[in-house]
């Protein structure tokens, strides 16, 4: 699949068309390093549901997400800060990000900009940008059905431990 930029029909960005029922809003639980591979993952949770969506990401994106969640402000802007500033300067607000599909174990996402413009992006970059501007993170129901996981009640303690870990982890822990 190639990346793309296209203009959707009126209403596509605001979600008042027929696609609204096909997407679910997610929140970011946090990032962590999966052992023994040392591969960072971002864990998302369905806002109005009980499914989690783990996405394996790069170290740079994990750091960017962790920085934003922890309120760390680097001396110079990171790439995602730069993109936020460019969108602001161009008066092209980020309305939402949407994880659109999963093909051959690769997730795809779109940035939903003002006036119906969609820009193809990696989910990790999309999430880092959404956190910076306060935009909602959405996921296609089909993707959640395929890749989402429900954590049984006995594993809720593990999720709580994961949240505690996230409160203590430092962005430097994700540096390559």
Instruction: Tell me the CATH number for domain 5-166.
Output: 3.10.690.10
DSSP labels, the chain? ----EEEPPTTTTTT-SGGGGGEEEEEEEEEEEETTTTEEEEEEEETTSSEEEEEE--HHHHHHHHHHHHT---SS--HHHHHHHHHHHTT--EEEEEEEEEETTEEEEEEEEGGGEEEEE-HHHHHHHHHHHT--EEEEHHHHHHH-EEPPGGGHHHHHHHHHHHHH--GGGG--
Mean pLDDT of the region 30-38: 88
Question: Tens digit of pLDDT for each residue in 105-118?
Answer: 999 999 999 888 99
d(CA 162, CA 164): 5
CA distance 127 to 108: 12
pTM as predicted? 0.78
Question: Is 35 or 10 the better-scoring residue by pLDDT?
Answer: 35
Bigger pLDDT: 20 vs 33: 33
In the chain, where the domains are located: 5-166
């Amino acid at each position: 699949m190639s990346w793309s930029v296209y203009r959707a029909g009126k209403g596509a960005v605001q979600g008042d068309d027929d696609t609204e029922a096909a997407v679910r809003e997610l929140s970011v639980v946090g990032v962590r390093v999966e052992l023994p591979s040392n591969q960072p993952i971002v864990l998302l949770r369905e806002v109005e549901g009980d499914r989690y969506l783990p996405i394996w990401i790069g170290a740079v994106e994990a750091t960017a997400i962790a920085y934003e969640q922890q309120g760390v402000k680097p001396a110079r802007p990171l790439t995602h800060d730069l993109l936020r500033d460019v969108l602001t300067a161009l008066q092209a607000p980020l309305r939402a990000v949407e994880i659109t599909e999963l093909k051959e174990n690769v997730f795809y996402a779109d940035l939903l900009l003002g006036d119906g413009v969609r820009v193809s992006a990696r989910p990790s970059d999309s999430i880092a940008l959404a956190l910076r501007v306060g935009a909602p993170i959405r996921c296609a129901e089909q993707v959640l059905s395929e890749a989402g996981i429900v954590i049984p009640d006995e594993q809720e303690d593990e999720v709580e431990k994961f949240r505690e870990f996230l409160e203590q982890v430092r962005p430097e822990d994700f540096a390559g």
